[in-house]
Structure 1
Amino acid sequence: MLRERLLALAEPLVQRLGYELVDVEYAATRSEATLRVYIDWPEGKMSAEAQLAGDDGTRAFDGIGVEDCERVSRELSALLDVEDPITVPYQLEVSSPGADRILRTPAHYQRFVGERAHVELLAPRDGRRRYTGTLVRAGEEDFEVNVDGSAVSIRYAEAGKTRLAPDFSRQRPRGKK
């Protein structure tokens, strides 16, 4: 499948450049095609700008920046030109995953235990396909979400798509104590 091929090509390159590959999305219509690549800093690592600013809570930037995206885009574009996994003209977009980032690997789930997530199952379970709650556990084969006080255990193989579901109404402005 194309998605797996793109992940297999992009992941080693993105890691070699010092980033984490969060996900890839390929979308095509009759008139255009787009490959979106989402990158982030690996857990425990941050941008050089954030490191220089210190950890006093006043730094204005600690995420993926335009320069990071440009760097990955240049390198990945060259690799994709050689490997040619997409045979039609397409646009390559590299960006940060955003606050509602997708969770793709067990490591992603483990990294965000304690955060709100929205899970969409591949097939309904007991008539229900979507769950939103707090990610309370992430193991090797499954994870658990607390939905309205009830623990729901879900195997990774059952989860079609899981995204963080931040509650922006509960967050305070950046830089305020």
Structure 2
Amino acid sequence: MALQDIAGQTVTGLGYELVEIERSAGGLLRVTIDLPWQPGTPETFVNVEDCEKVTRQLQYALEVEGIDYKRLEVSSPGLDRPLRTERDFERFAGEVVDVTLKAPVGAAGAGLVAANRRKFRGRLEKAEGAGAGWQVVWTDEPAAKPGQKVSRKREAAPLQVLGFTLDELKEARLAPVVDFKGRKARPGAQPEAVGGAEK
């Protein structure tokens, strides 16, 4: 059985979602898990106990299947969680995301977007219309610095919109936005939890 299948069956069998699996140099096997999302329910997050539980079960499954690794690390997706499926995009609609396209935006019809640009950061929204896909909305206006007075006469930079489908994406991740003052928690922010074990 393939590593992806073993990890997927083990993780889903315990009631979690397999987000990512990665083999690194030196025999490190990194598995990222999350709790399944149910629309309309409060967001819940993976904790250290969840990681330990999956680590123990994965160690057993990998040993039974004869998968070679030196160290196993099971963790939560963290602040820069990858978005891969339509369900991921539905779950994090309204959040700030980093999007990388497979092909650069062409000059024709790009509006204010520079030609040959592939990376964008903005608020994720569902595009209007049937089969329209998704869009990223952003402005190139720099954020005001703390204590800086902003003129009321200054015109705001226009909002820019880039529509895309999942087939056009190379990669999409939540933008790791952190508020160090602790006053405003970003909705859906996930504290990082990591559990690991040596083989």
**TM-score when normalising by structure 1:** 0.72
Shift of 1:102: 1.0
Shift of 1:157: 2.3
Distance 2:66 2:164 in 1: 36
| Residue 122 (structure 1) aligns with | 102
| Residue 13 (structure 2) aligns with | 16
* Higher relative contact order, structure no. (Cα contacts within 8 Å, ≥ 6 residues apart): 2
1:82 counterpart = 2:64: yes
CA RMSD of aligned residues (A): 2.7
| Residue 123 (structure 2) aligns with | 134
1:34 counterpart = 2:28: yes
Shift of 1:12: 2.5
Shift of 1:24: 1.6
Distance 1:6 1:143 in 2: 32
- Which protein has the bigger strand share? 1
| Residue 152 (structure 1) aligns with | 162
Runs of 4+ in 1 over 3 A off after TM superposition: 138-142
> Does the CA contact (< 8 Å) of 2:31 and 2:74 recur in 1?
yes
Shift of 1:140: 7.7
Tell me the alpha carbon deviations over residues 24-78 of structure 1, each in whole angstroms, 9 at most, x when there is no partner.
22222xxx12221111111149xxxxxxxxx9xxxxxx52221110110111122
Number of residue pairs matched by the alignment: 150
For the structure 1 residues 9 and 157, does the alpha-carbon distance in structure 2 shift closer, same or farther, using more than 3 Å as the test?
farther
Which of the two has higher C-alpha Rg?
Answer: 2
Shift of 1:150: 2.3
% identical equivalent positions: 40
> Does the CA contact (< 8 Å) of 1:7 and 1:23 recur in 2?
no
> Does the CA contact (< 8 Å) of 2:10 and 2:58 recur in 1?
yes
For the structure 1 residues 141 and 18, does the alpha-carbon distance in structure 2 shift closer, same or farther, using more than 3 Å as the test?
farther
| Residue 67 (structure 1) aligns with | 49
**TM-score when normalising by structure 2:** 0.65
Shift of 1:142: 3.7
> Does the CA contact (< 8 Å) of 2:79 and 2:177 recur in 1?
no
Shift of 1:104: 1.8
Listed as ranges, the gaps of 5+ residues in structure 1 are 46-54, 56-61
1:165 counterpart = 2:175: yes
Distance 2:28 2:132 in 1: 32
Shift of 1:141: 8.4
